[in-house]
Structure 1
Amino acid sequence: MPSCTEAKRALRVQLRAQAAALSLRERAESDRALCRRFLELPQTAEAGTLLLFWGVGTEPDTRPLLDALWAQGKRVLLPQCLPGHVLEARLVRSPRELVPGAYGIPEPGSDCPVVEGREIDLILVPAVAYDRQCLRLGQGGGYYDRCLAGYQGRTVGLCRDVLLQDRLPAEPHDLGVEVVLTETRRFSAGQKSAGGAQGAPPVSGGLQGG
């Protein structure tokens, strides 16, 4: 029987291929629905400082979220990848402040102020996919496992309906998020979801160095 690590690795390959098979139109429609649902979320409305991610490849396109949140006067942060698989949250006021970063992902430049974890109200956590218990399958680098350890704010994940899993392979140390949004459904950790699934315990505890 494969180990949990091997099962996760195989599932990443499968789900990435599944996401890549979506047409540009399907992906764009999915992106619009996911962004709309995130902006309508009460936790988003209540948050003053939000750490987002810059979607690349087959990930949801988060650029419209940045524009919308800037227009609302929110403090928008993006991660900078540091050695040791650690994320540093930096305040971004314009896409002009972004520079090419690790893995070709745009990151805040060195002039963007660092914001400590305790100041962050909500983190939008990227993932290859989520399940109905609000557990995530990450990219495998461990950046967000470290980022979420000890973080006490709100956490949200976006997952395309076609990638949503009934139950992901997970180990005791794997962290989930508080809310998972698909284009059509919402799942909350520790509560009955729209699909009748029981959520995972909410994450607790901050960003490295935050």
Structure 2
Amino acid sequence: MQIKNELRKLYKLKRKSVINKADKDKLISEKLYALEAYKSCKTVLTYVSLDDEIKTDDIIIHSLKAGKRVAVPYCKDDMGNMDFYLIDSLTQLSIGSFSVREPDINECERINSFNDSIAIVPGLIFDKNGYRIGYGKGYYDRFLNEFNGISIGLCYDELLTESLPIDKHDKNVDILITPGTTICNRGGKNG
């Protein structure tokens, strides 16, 4: 855990120094849209980006315009549990837990089935095997261990490393997209 916390500190600083983020975000989004996994899915589960993260607002808008259902997470508690709620617009989001934009759970429909879904997963750092280090709360670790669809990580090349320390509960993403490469990590589920 100590090593992961040190890596979080280092890579938070490193992420702030990434240049041309808007161009890189656009390239990553275009690579996502070209994936067969994206084209064929009916529902896109995606994080709602923070300031320094790869922007997901355009992905949300593009997916809605493409006729896909879009669901974003709502953090239920401090124990790492979250639910996904369908949104029709970014206006259904407001600042919630951890200063993250979340769906209005009184207005949006919670989904329980993730059939025909892909999950776009946040991460501070990814390695070439698709393992990630997030912010340390465990929300996505718990989710990925239950999710049977295709998981996709988005990462700047500057935040991609050869390997990361992993724990038994860690699960890698199936596909990792950076501006410079697309890495498929699971046979048969490579988008």
Deviations 1:86-136 (Å, cap 9, x if unpaired)?
111000001121121111111110210000143461100100011111111
2:97 maps to 102
Secondary structure at the aligned position of 2:129 is classed as coil
Relative to 1, partners in 2 of residues 1:54 and 1:81: Cα closer, same or farther, differing over 3 Å?
Answer: same
Deviations 1:161-182 (Å, cap 9, x if unpaired)?
0110100111222111100010
Contact 1:99 1:108 in 2 (8 A): yes
Contact 2:57 2:90 in 1 (8 A): no
What letter matches 1:79 in structure 2?
P
2:84 aligned with 1:89: yes
Report deviation, 1:32.
1.0
Distance 2:38 2:131 in 1: 20
2:151 maps to 155
What letter matches 1:15 in structure 2?
Y
2:35 maps to 41
Secondary structure at the aligned position of 2:37 is classed as helix
2:4 aligned with 1:11: no
Structure 1 segments unaligned to the other structure (5+ residues): 192-201, 203-210
Structure 2 segments unaligned to the other structure (5+ residues): none
Distance 2:14 2:114 in 1: 37
The number of aligned residues is 186
- Higher-Rg structure is 1
TM-score, length basis structure 2: 0.93
Superposed, 1:31-180 pairs within 5 Å as 31-83=25-77, 84-110=79-105, 111-119=107-115, 121-180=117-176
Distance 2:155 2:114 in 1: 26
Report deviation, 1:22.
2.4
TM-score, length basis structure 1: 0.85
Distance 2:46 2:82 in 1: 12
Detail structure 1 runs of 4+ shifted over 4 Å in the superposition. Answer: none
Distance 1:95 1:190 in 2: 32
Distance 2:169 2:75 in 1: 22
Secondary structure at the aligned position of 1:43 is classed as helix
What letter matches 1:159 in structure 2?
C
Distance 1:117 1:18 in 2: 37
What letter matches 2:171 in structure 1?
L
